[in-house]
Amino acid sequence: MSKRTLIKSFVAAAVAVSFGAASAQTATPIKFQLDWRFEGPAAFFLAPIAKGYFKDAKLDVTVDAGNGSGGAVTRVASGAYEMGFADLAALMEFHANNPDAANKPVAVMMVYNNTPASVMTLKKSGIKTPADLTNKKLGAPVFDAGRKAFPIFAKANGVSNVTWVAMDPALRETMLAKGDIDAITGFTFTSLLNLEARGVKAEDVNIMQYPDYGVKLYGNAIIASPKFIKENPAAIKAFLAAFTKAAKEVVAKPVESIAYVKARDGIINVPLEERRLKLAIDTVIASPDAYKEGFGKVNDARLTLMASQVSDAFNTKTRVDRNAIWNGSFLPSDAALNAVLPVVKTAKK
């Protein structure tokens, strides 16, 4: 090799190293807080990491497990996380109870078009309709989304005089199975499978899903820190585009997608989490309302009504300002969003 060729090789190598370092530096770091543990629905956020979609969008995304929507909201508000996944009602509650907070998170994409909350009873109890809940004993953790929104469910269905029993999340389904309480509130795809794990057959459970009983609350949304939105608007847009691309594939192939969850938590029950993910897709992601409004979007009138309902039901310090909690300007194109759902719709026919 000539001296001239050798010099060229060194220069090319130096340029390559420099370019690689520059590329790495341009990747925007995003710490993302889930609402719950690494269960089936977490595949929606782990898939774009595993498939390299975030990396291709020049994003360095890390996803952490959570312990509730309230925690996800406060951690994004604190600045510990740039983005997260949380129940919209929990976000509204935070805004209305912390009017002077400097960094109130904002929802930028709706993922669960309907709340996953439901009331569940054992059929042997004879409780079949919301009216049958009057004078009964209900159980749920104090922070449970379904429990907090229960006044909306009760008003819509004429339920009164219920007694609440608070417990740790791990005891909720156990207490119902043992007959210590008459009913529970919880996410359908969480509590139903937890009941089965405690020996209760699915056919022996009566499920009253909130959306089926006049409670059209939105469920979980992707949220972002306003500071991060201001400083990195392009990163928010890139994140949602990569997420949407992966979401289409997760909806189309939920069984295969559980591998991404298994990679993060090796002790999960794979068949159980496959069912949980499918149940989440069928009940709150590919719901009739999602087809009507479009994946990722919200309906203005419905959002305004929810803000009013949450203000009343949660007895917030100030009224929820619907204009302060939603920013849909970073959403991908309608074509990209609409492509997420048709595969499921076709499969249902």
Query: pLDDT tens for residues 61-101?
Result: 999 999 889 999 999 999 999 999 999 999 999 999 999 99
- With the CA atoms of 85, 89, 91 and 92 taken in that order, what torsion angle do they form, in degrees rounded to the nearest 10? 160
CA distance 110 to 103: 20
Chain region(s) in the chain for CATH 3.40.190.10: 27-114+218-348, 117-213
Sorting pLDDT into bands at 50, 70 and 90, what band is 18?
very low
What does pLDDT average to over the chain?
Answer: 92
Q: Would you say residue 268 has pLDDT above 60? A: yes
Q: Would you say residue 17 has pLDDT above 50? A: no
Q: Would you say residue 3 has pLDDT above 90? A: no
> Which CATH number among 1.10.10.10, 3.40.190.10, 3.40.50.920, 3.40.50.720 corresponds to the domain 27-114+218-348?
3.40.190.10
Query: pLDDT tens for residues 270-327?
Result: 999 999 999 999 999 999 999 999 999 999 999 999 999 999 999 999 999 999 999 9
The distance of Cα 284 from the centroid of its chain, to the nearest Å, equals 10
Query: pLDDT tens for residues 179-192?
Result: 999 999 999 999 99
Query: pLDDT tens for residues 221-238?
Result: 999 999 999 999 999 999
Q: Would you say residue 347 has pLDDT above 80? A: no
**137 burial class (0-12, 13-18, 19+ CB within 10 angstroms)?**
middle
Q: What proportion of the chain, given as a percentage, has pLDDT over 90?
A: 88
Arithmetic mean of pLDDT, 14-41: 75
- Where on the phi/psi map is residue 68: left (φ > 0), alpha (ψ -120 to 50), or beta? left
- Domain spanning 117-213: CATH superfamily: Periplasmic binding protein-like II (3.40.190.10)
The pLDDT assigned to 2 comes to 56
Sorting pLDDT into bands at 50, 70 and 90, what band is 21?
very low
Sorting pLDDT into bands at 50, 70 and 90, what band is 143?
confident
